[in-house]
Structure 1
Amino acid sequence: MRFLVSILVILQISLADSFATAKTTLIQFLQDNPHYQRDFYCNTPFRWVKNSFQIIPSPSYTPRNRYTKEGKINLRARQIELEHIMPAHTFGKHLACWKRGGRRECANDSLFKKMEGDLQNIVPTIGEINADRGNLPFREAPRRWLLNQYGQCKVYANFKDKEFYPANYSKGWIARSYLYMEKTYKIRLSKTERQLMQRWDKMYPMDKKERDFRNFLRVQKMQKLMRF
């Protein structure tokens, strides 16, 4: 695991100077690679429709709330958003700008923009789940926990205990992203969180999909360096 994280740090897979630029790059990648058009948490298929990625109805995901409190259709349950695996709050809260005024105050901070735009830490997710997860930390689900909050999607947002339980198939990617961010940007993780990520990294090795995406980032990085 240490070797893998060290390689990622050496590559410095931070291809974008801002979150907006990173999203443009990732959107183009997803358009060019249809087999990647499945969301991170539920493995639900989606497709590009006009100017956004829209979810394709599938048994893999059932909205928790089909309608908003105002009785309108919950559009975030129908669309894909690009989310930070490690939340902005986690990688930004130690910065002076964040302490002065949160994310808005950090909008022009060069280090924050670099972290915010790091494609190593950005994935496509269903809007509703992105909203529900928010800044909830990842945790291992308690035994015999009934994961039926989003139909067949094996994730759960525990609002009471302020925890989020991801599916097994995404735990390895989550872990490697957290360990990469910690190593690259000197993020201070708690002992409990670091141990969890180290355990998931060992339990859930990198699959072909994750490996191919890492290779894409590596190639993009090399091309960027050659332009300078």
Structure 2
Amino acid sequence: MPRRPADPSPRTSASRGRSRSRPTSSNATASREKPRRRSPPVRGGALAMLRLVVAKTRDLAIGLALISAVSFVPVSITADWPQSAQSAMAIAREVRTLLVEVGGDLTRVAGDWLGSTGAEFVNAGGALLSDALQGADGIDLGIQLPGLGDLLPDPNALFGDLIGDLIGDWWPHPTLPAGGGDLPHVAGSFSKAKELLYDRVYRGHRVTAYCGCTYNRKRSVDLASCGLDGYADNARARRVEAEHVFPAAQFGNFRRCWRQPEAYRACRGAAGALLSGRECCLRVDETFLAAHNDLQNLIPAVGMINGDRRDYRWGMAPGGQRYGDCGIRIDSGGRRVQPPDALRGDIARIMLYMRDTYGFRLSRQDERLFEAWSNLDPVDAWELKRHARIARLQGRENGYVVESTD
């Protein structure tokens, strides 16, 4: 049988080989597709995001801490720096002020929250106790314990003061250094100074200086607590005001900004109206601003008495006007004010501090009087605590208080 001749065309053979190895259309599509990446688990992504946020927050905190540290460079050092550097320092001080104000706000919010929470717990406990005693025969708490409600502390005030005692004394709160050189770091505005006075310095000691009247968080005076209930119709008597021990008019009257505000372009309002001497000095005189807002020179007083005291000088006024059981006497004719015995040393040490710190003038007669008052009325526990709180806030001590305790 004759052999079949071989196919002379190699292309046909190769074609057959390719036809045998050619995949189907479905297999070809599958081979061209890349494997899909699986998205990471949601939990892992959230954890990574949390770590990133924590890292960024840490970096931000470090940056703000460095800015705050730089802002404490004294103004006397930065006075000769270029204008751009001084502008940067001003921004750094503003950042520091914002940080401490936010910290203070958070502290108050925490105190208010704990106070309200504590009040709820106390009220709930009281309700349970009342229910438990309702079934008891022959027990009348109103008879057995009269005035029990007056003896229990206000839960809100209790928890608020507790938080204040725990963190209030060490929380840093210096604001813009209002004066150059080595002046104390005081509040940049009088409203802020008053807030510090009531909420930080006199926290837990809401008692007016001259008359010993108690007042609440809203700064309303309990006139019956100090024998001034006869002045209940006087609106100013019912509120607390921040009193300057060394009157602003006394140390401002010697300054040009007080006597001639028209000499300063900055002492005109938006409509061109001339500002008062006090307002002008607060704008253009760093020393006046620091002295005006210095917490050492501020005490809480009944508003009516603060108004009657005006800018009179301290001294003996045996025939001066008296106010109920209050120990202060005001002689409007002689323009003299006689403080209570227990406050004379405090006032004397403040006046001498203001003289030394700001260079204010005192007569030789006043200096001898204040030295005598300081010796007769030594530093007590409250004055020492008040001084420590102010020194922590402003970075400056009153040497007359410190020396008296050595």
Band the TM-score falls in, shorter-chain normalisation: 0.7 to 0.9
Moved more, 172-181 or 86-95: 86-95
Number of positions where the alignment pairs a residue of Structure 1 with one of Structure 2? 199
Q: Output the amino acid matched with 1:58.
A: A
Instruction: Find the residue that maps to 1:94 and give its secondary structure.
Output: coil
Does the 8 Å CA contact 2:328/2:340 hold for their aligned counterparts?
yes
2:212 to 32, 43, 61: 43
Q: Distance in 2 between matches of 1:222 and 1:59?
A: 35
Does the 8 Å CA contact 1:30/1:37 hold for their aligned counterparts?
no
Q: Distance in 1 between matches of 2:289 and 2:394?
A: 17
Q: How far off is 1:64 after superposition?
A: 7.2
Give the structure 2 partner of residue 26 of structure 1. Answer: 197
Q: Output the amino acid matched with 1:15.
A: V
Say yes or no: does 1:208 pair with 2:368. no
Q: Distance in 1 between matches of 2:287 and 2:184?
A: 14
> TM-score normalised to the size of structure 2?
0.46
Does the 8 Å CA contact 1:14/1:117 hold for their aligned counterparts?
no
Instruction: Find the residue that maps to 1:40 and give its secondary structure.
Output: coil
Say yes or no: does 1:105 pair with 2:280. yes
Q: How far off is 1:104 after superposition?
A: 2.8
Q: Distance in 2 between matches of 1:90 and 1:64?
A: 32
Structure 1's consecutive aligned runs of 4 or more residues displaced over 6 angstroms after TM superposition are none
| Structure number with bigger Rg | 2
RMSD: 2.2
Q: How far off is 1:21 after superposition?
A: 2.0
Q: How far off is 1:206 after superposition?
A: 0.8
2:326 to 150, 153, 172: 153
Q: How far off is 1:214 after superposition?
A: 0.7
Give the structure 2 partner of residue 134 of structure 1. Answer: 310
Q: Distance in 2 between matches of 1:64 and 1:179?
A: 35
Instruction: Find the residue that maps to 2:216 and give its secondary structure.
Output: strand
Q: Output the amino acid matched with 2:228.
A: T
Q: Distance in 2 between matches of 1:54 and 1:176?
A: 28
Query: How high is the sequence identity, in percent, across the aligned residues?
Result: 30
Does the 8 Å CA contact 1:14/1:120 hold for their aligned counterparts?
no
Q: How far off is 1:130 after superposition?
A: 0.1
Give the structure 1 partner of residue 300 of structure 2. Answer: 124
Unaligned runs of 5+ in 2: 1-181, 262-276, 397-406
Q: Output the amino acid matched with 1:181.
A: M
> TM-score normalised to the size of structure 1?
0.80
Q: Which has the higher contact order (CA 8 A, sep 6+)?
A: 1
Q: After superposition, give the CA deviation of every residue in 1:90-121 in whole Å (9 maximum; x if it has no partner).
A: 12122111121431321302221111010000
Say yes or no: does 1:62 pair with 2:228. yes
Instruction: Find the residue that maps to 2:243 and give its secondary structure.
Output: strand
Give the alignment of 1:171-186 within 5 angstroms: 171-186=344-359
Unaligned runs of 5+ in 1: 1-10, 67-72, 224-228
Does the 8 Å CA contact 2:206/2:216 hold for their aligned counterparts?
yes
Q: After superposition, give the CA deviation of every residue in 1:12-57 in whole Å (9 maximum; x if it has no partner).
A: 55432332221121122267x22x11100001111113xxx01113
1:200 to 1:23, Cα distance in 2 relative to 1, 3 A: same
